[in-house]
């Protein structure tokens, strides 16, 4: 196989012509216009937002950002810390457990593995509102309510179906022979997994990480209810509060939105090159 179909000539026929570039720019501008408005309006005062919602006005101000950042109850900061913590731990745990479970499901032939194949996809189809109250009662009985630990554990369970879906697709492209050879050499299953399989799973892992992380970061219903009002909140819960609180001050709302979205965007930029490959292989053989 020549080197062309993969690494260096990654994209189509090479460089783009001026017509294509222009079309692309125009389409993107149209598509992203609402976001541009949000960012723009985050820099305007309230009256300017009402008078000229679509245009840039001259007195661009940092006022909204300052207000949000210096709120007396520190809503943005406590929210950020909680969100980062929950998202990082939840995503890592979720990815690892999903990968291991996917490995089991793909490589084993017993009845347990087969039943998992049936049961796991169900998780994707359940409307969260239904299971809310029974879940609450169960978590309360186990003492998990109001704790970050409880929230993380709930998230891991909930994101399993998606992770398993992506990983099983990808794992099927990794030849069994690789692991069998290691087994012949006397390596245990855990060692095989960590040193051989997991590194190969990197692209799939990156895609699971980004999608799960986005999901955890943006979810506000679950932390609102599980963590409860007394135990701090995540950055998205804070945004929800900001929206209902400052409904007339859109500048502050938009500023909060911008600040709350930056971390997850940074993560995406980092992982971009990995997970594009990951989605591809997962889909191709999934």
Partner 1 sequence: MHKQKRRRFPPRNPLYFLLFALPGAVLYAAFVLWPLLVALWSSLTNENAYRTTTSFVWFDNYGRLFTDPAYVQTLRNTVVLALICIAVPNALGLGIAVLLDRVGWVFNVLRAVFFIPVVLSSVVVAVIWQQMLKDDGLVNTSLRSFGVTDPPGWLSDPALALYSVGWIAAWQAVGTCVVLYLAGLQSIPKELLEAAAIDGAGPVRRFRTITWPLLAPSVTIMTVLSMIGGFKVYDQVKVMTNGGPGVGTTSTLAFDVVRTGIDAGAVGYGAAKAAVMFFIIAAISLLSLRIMRGREVDL
Partner 2 sequence: MRTRRRTKRFLLVATVAAWALALAGCTAGGSAPSGSGDEVTLTFLVSETPNLTPKYWDDAIARASEKVPGVTIKKVVGENTPAYAQQLFASGQAPDIFAAGIANGLAQKGMLAEYTRDELKKAGVTDFTSGTINGKFYGVATGAQAIPVVYYNKALFAKAGIDAAPKTYAELVADCAKLKAAGIAPFEIGGGGKDTWATVFALVSAVSADVLTVDPDWFLKRTKGEVKFTDPAFVAAAKKVQDLARNGYGDKDAMTRSYADLEQAFLGGKAAMYPMGSWFAAAADKAKRTDIGVFGWPSDTGRQAFPTVSGAGMNVNAKSKNVELAKKWSLAFATDKQNRDLGVLTDGDIVTVKDYQLPDKVGAVYQETVRAYDAAVASGATVPAWANITGDGALPPGFSELMTAANVDLLTGKKTPEQFAQYLDQQYAAAQK
Give the footprint of partner 2 on this chain (CB under 8 A). Answer: 50, 72-74, 77-79, 81-82, 85, 88-89, 92, 132-133, 136-137, 139-140, 145-149, 152, 194-195, 224-233, 241, 244-249
Count Cβ atoms below 10 Å from residue 282 Cβ, excluding itself.
Answer: 24
Q: Which is nearer to partner 1, 85 or 131 (CB)?
A: 131
Exposure on the CB side of residue 194, measured as CA atoms within 13 A: 4
Identify residues 73-102 at the interface with partner 1 (CB under 8 A).
Answer: 97-98, 100-101
* Cβ neighbours of residue 262 closer than 8 Å, sequence gap 6 or more: none
C-beta of 232: minimal distance to partner 1 in Å? 18
How far, CA to CA in Å, does 14 sit from each of 7, 205, 223?
13, 28, 46
CB 152 within 8 A of CB 89: yes
Identify residues 162-181 at the interface with partner 1 (CB under 8 A).
Answer: 164, 169, 176, 179-180
Count Cβ atoms below 10 Å from residue 223 Cβ, excluding itself.
Answer: 27
56 binds, among partner 2, partner 1, none (CB under 5 to 8 A by kind): none
Pick one of 62, 112, 149, 270: the residue that binds partner 1 (CB under 8 A).
112
Q: Which is nearer to partner 2, 195 or 272 (CB)?
A: 195
137: its two tokens: 């009662």
66 binds, among partner 1, partner 2, none (CB under 5 to 8 A by kind): none
The Cα–Cα gap between 39 and 16 comes to: 29
79 binds, among partner 2, partner 1, none (CB under 5 to 8 A by kind): partner 2
Which residue is it, tokens 């911008």? Answer: 258
Q: Which is nearer to partner 2, 6 or 188 (CB)?
A: 188
């Amino acid at each position: 196989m020549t080197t062309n179909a993969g690494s260096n000539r990654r994209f189509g026929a090479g460089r783009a012509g001026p017509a294509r570039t222009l079309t692309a720019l125009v389409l993107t501008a149209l598509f992203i216009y609402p976001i541009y408005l949000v960012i723009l309006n985050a820099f305007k005062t309230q009256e300017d937002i009402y008078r000229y919602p679509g245009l840039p006005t001259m007195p661009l101000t940092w006022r909204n950002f300052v207000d949000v950042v210096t709120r007396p109850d520190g809503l943005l900061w406590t929210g950020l810390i909680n969100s980062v913590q929950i998202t990082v731990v939840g995503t890592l745990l979720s990815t690892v457990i999903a990968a291991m479970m996917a490995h089991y499901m793909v490589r084993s032939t017993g009845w347990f593995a087969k039943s998992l194949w049936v049961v796991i996809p169900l998780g994707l189809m359940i409307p969260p509102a239904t299971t809310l109250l029974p879940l609450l009662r169960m978590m309360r009985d186990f003492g998990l309510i109001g704790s970050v630990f409880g929230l993380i554990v709930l998230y891991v369970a909930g994101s399993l179906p998606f992770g398993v879906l992506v990983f099983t697709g990808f794992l099927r492209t990794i030849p069994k022979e690789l692991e069998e050879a290691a087994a012949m050499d006397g390596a245990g299953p855990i060692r095989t997994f960590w040193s051989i399989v997991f590194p190969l799973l990197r692209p799939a892992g990156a895609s699971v990480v980004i999608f799960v992380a986005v999901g955890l970061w943006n979810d506000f219903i679950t932390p609102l209810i599980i963590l409860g009002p007394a135990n701090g909140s995540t950055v998205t819960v804070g945004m929800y509060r900001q929206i209902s609180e400052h409904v007339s001050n859109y500048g502050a709302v938009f500023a909060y939105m911008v600040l709350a979205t930056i971390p997850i965007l940074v993560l995406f930029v980092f992982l971009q090159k990995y997970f594009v490959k990951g989605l591809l292989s997962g889909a191709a053989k999934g």
